[in-house]
């Protein structure tokens, strides 16, 4: 199963679900973007290419691959949570706001585009899920 046809197509397709935040200067030669959004500091594998990310306010599609078996439907009373695991993985709870096949957009302090190589349980927009992603998270800069 392929999650993306190209980095540009993926970024364009999910641009409406980009997170708004702050990008910090990228150290020379580093493949990681330091992005602050939703009160969290995220380290994202830069999918937009070297030198495409300018420091300052930015819109970034934050894409994570879900850990198999980590997704569960939960009650909306759980609310939104998001915690960083290690350098570049997440664990959280949020509301599904968009479903495109096996790709979900989940609002968990910031919008996250989540997919899985394994099958995902059926879910409808409005339901709440808990999840865990595998490292690394991917970041696509949206112009």
Contact 44, 136 (CB under 8 A): yes
Return mean pLDDT, the chain: 93
Domain that holds residue 65: 7-142
Average pLDDT over residues 136-140: 97
The full DSSP string for the chain is --S-S-HHHHHHHHGGGPEEEEEPPPPTT--EEEEEETTEEEEEEE-S-TT-PPSEEEEEEEEEEEPTT--EEE-GGG--EEEEETTTEEEEEEEEEEEETTEEEEESSSEEEEE-SSPPPP--TT-EEEEEEEEEEEEEEE-
Residue 120: inside a domain = yes
pLDDT in tens, 26-39: 888 889 999 999 99
Residue 1: inside a domain = no
Residue 43: inside a domain = yes
What's the pLDDT band for 2 if we cut at 50, 70, 90? low
Residue 129: inside a domain = yes
Looking at the structure of the chain, the number of domains it has is 1
Residue 137: inside a domain = yes
What's the pLDDT band for 141 if we cut at 50, 70, 90? very high
Residue 118: inside a domain = yes
Note the pTM of the prediction, 2 decimals.
Answer: 0.94
Residue 2: inside a domain = no
Question: What's residue 1's pLDDT?
Answer: 55
Percent of the chain past pLDDT 70, that is, above it, reads 98
pLDDT in tens, 100-120: 888 999 999 999 999 998 888
């Amino acid at each position: 199963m392929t999650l993306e046809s190209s980095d540009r197509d993926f970024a364009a397709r999910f641009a409406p679900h980009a997170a708004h935040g702050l990008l910090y200067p990228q150290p020379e030669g580093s493949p990681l973007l330091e992005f602050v959004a939703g009160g969290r500091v995220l380290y994202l594998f830069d999918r937009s290419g070297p030198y495409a990310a300018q420091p300052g306010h930015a819109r970034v599609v934050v894409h994570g691959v879900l850990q198999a078996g980590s997704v569960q439907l939960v009650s909306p009373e759980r609310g939104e949570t998001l915690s960083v695991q290690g350098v570049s993985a997440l664990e959280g709870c949020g509301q599904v706001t968009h479903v495109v096949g096996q790709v979900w957009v989940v609002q968990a302090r910031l919008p996250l585009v989540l997919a899985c190589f394994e099958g995902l349980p059926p879910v409808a927009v409005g339901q709440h899920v808990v999840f865990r992603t595998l490292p690394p998270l991917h970041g696509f800069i949206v112009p």
